[in-house]
Amino acid sequence: MSGRTASNGLHPVSRATVDIPVIRQEVGALGKTYGYRRLTHATSLPPEGVARRLCSSTTCPCLHVAALHLASGKPFVLEDRWVNLQTAPAAAAQDFETTNANEWLLAHVPYTHGEIRLSALAATGDEARLLETEPGAPLFVIERLTWDHGRGVTLARLCSAPGHLIVTQLGTAP
C-alpha cells in the first residue's frame, strides 16, 4: 500500500520485512535432497574490505567458512562467510562440518538488522569449478550483512548455480 501526493510521489505506509532463508528448506521445497560440504574453516583477520563492513577495526578476529550447498547431489549455492568472533564468540567452537554456519547462527546468535545486496557477476575460475559451470558464466549473488545493535555479526556471499530462482513473498496471503 502507498499513499500518493501530487508533489512528493509515492510514500510507503508499511515496511516489508525479509526473513533470512535457510538453504536446506529452499532445497526441500524444490523436492530435492539437501547436501552440504564444508570447504574451508579458519580463524583469521578478514581482508580489509570485509573488516571495514563487518568489524569496528581491521584487527577483528573472524571465522572464515566456505561451503557448498547441494540439491540432489548437484551444486546449488556456494557460500563464503565471515563471522565476527567479537560478536559471536561461540562460533569459534563450531567446526561447521555437518551443520552449516547460517543455520547455526540463526539458532544461536541474535541480530537486529541487516543489509542485502543483490547482483549478477561473472563466475571466477574457482566458482565455476565448484558450481560446475563455465568461467564467466553469470551467477546470481546475494551478499548479506547482519548486525546486532550496531555490531557486525556476519557477512555472507552466496553465489547461486546458474538457473537458480529466488522467490519471495510480499505480505500475508488471505
- The answer to whether residue 152 is domain-embedded is yes
- The answer to whether residue 171 is domain-embedded is no
9 has a pLDDT exceeding 90: no
Domain that holds residue 53: 20-160
- The answer to whether residue 168 is domain-embedded is no
Q: What is the pLDDT of residues 44-95, one digit of tens each?
A: 999 999 999 999 888 899 999 999 999 999 999 999 999 999 999 999 999 9
Residue 153: which CATH number? Answer: 3.40.1410.10
- The answer to whether residue 170 is domain-embedded is no
For residues 142-170, average pLDDT: 89
When divided into structural domains, the chain yields a total of: 1
Report d(CA 19, CA 29) in Å as an integer.
16
- The answer to whether residue 61 is domain-embedded is yes
- The answer to whether residue 8 is domain-embedded is no
For residues 36-47, average pLDDT: 96
- The answer to whether residue 174 is domain-embedded is no
For the entire predicted model, the pTM comes to 0.85
pLDDT band at 11 (very low <50, low <70, confident <90, very high): low
